[in-house]
Chain A
Amino acid sequence: DTAVSQTPKYLVTQMGNDKSIKCEQNLGHDTMYWYKQDSKKFLKIMFSYNNKELIINETVPNRFSPKSPDKAHLNLHINSLELGDSAVYFCASSTRQGPTEAFFGQGTRLTVV
């Protein structure tokens, strides 16, 4: 069973559109994350979220918003897509307490044309 799964794996869309990427984890973790990997392969944290707290990386535009219908899901919604949003987006999860490993999904390659 896949621990952290993302859909879709590939997403091609036009500038100005609104899109969502879904993420689900079956590990019982209480904290989920979104990371962005750009064309230069740098991985950057975008959000950390559990049912009590949302931590936003200050560099993330407010067009990006995480939405969590329940503890096992953290979807990424993006408004008014721009060319520069093209990247691979990774979802991850972990427990909140103490140092521990994070489990990553396989990524969603978003291409804005």
Chain B
Amino acid sequence: DAKTTQPTSMDCAEGRAANLPCNHSTISGNEYVYWYRQIHSQGPQYIIHGLKNNETNEMASLIITEDRKSSTLILPHATLRDTAVYYCIVESGNAGNMLTFGGGTRLMVKP
């Protein structure tokens, strides 16, 4: 079972920041927060991951609360191509990445 809770769907205006929340109140000390997305009819795509500190890469920023019980994925300037299902996943960094996907958030970016 997924260890995360995400809203089922969200809308965002094109060009604006998309902020996708995720609750993971039972996260353990050795578990990382991963974000993946799945654009329609494609395989999941890695976005970012973090442990405690906030992280940023060319795709997004990940903000993790100090108690690590929740996080937010930020797409700074959403485009229509960012329309996808976004998955927040909590897994330890050991022994490969057997990812447990939940229902995710369906983000619709609108013109």
A residues with a Cβ closer than 8 A to B are 4, 31, 33, 35, 41-45, 48, 50, 53, 55, 57, 90, 92, 94, 96, 98-107
How far does the alpha carbon of A50 sit from the alpha carbon of B98 in the complex, in Å?
12
Asked if B85 contacts A41 (CB within 8 A), the reply is: yes
A-B contact count (CB 8 A): 65
Give the complex CA separation of A90 and B101 in angstroms: 13
Contact among B95, B97, B99, B103 for A42, CB-based, below 8 A = B103
Check A106–B96 contact: CB distance below 8 A: no
The residue in chain B whose Cβ has the minimal distance to the Cβ of A32 is B96
CB-CB < 8 A to A105: which residues of B? 43
A-side contacts of B44, CB under 8 Å: 43, 90, 92, 102, 104
Contacts of A96 in B (CB 8 A): 95-96
Report B52 CB to chain A, min CB distance, Å.
12
- Which listed residue (B43, B46, B98, B103) contacts A45, Cβ 8 A? B98
For B87, list chain A residues within 8 Å (CB).
43
The count of chain B contact residues (Cβ–Cβ below 8 Å) is 24
Q: A31-B96, A42-B101 are in contact. Are A104 and B43 (CB under 8 A)?
A: yes
Q: What is the chain A residue whose CB lies nearest that of B44? A: A104
Q: Chain A residues with Cβ under 8 A from B49's Cβ?
A: 99, 101
Whole-angstrom CA separation of A15 from B42 in the bound complex: 26
Contacts of B85 in A (CB 8 A): 41
- In chain B, residues 18-57, which have Cβ atoms closer than 8 Å to a Cβ of chain A? 32, 34, 38, 41-46, 49, 51
B95 touches A106 (CB 8 A): no
Q: Which of B34, B42, B96, B99 gathers most chain A CB within 10 Å?
A: B96
Closest CB of chain B to A53's CB: distance in Å? 8
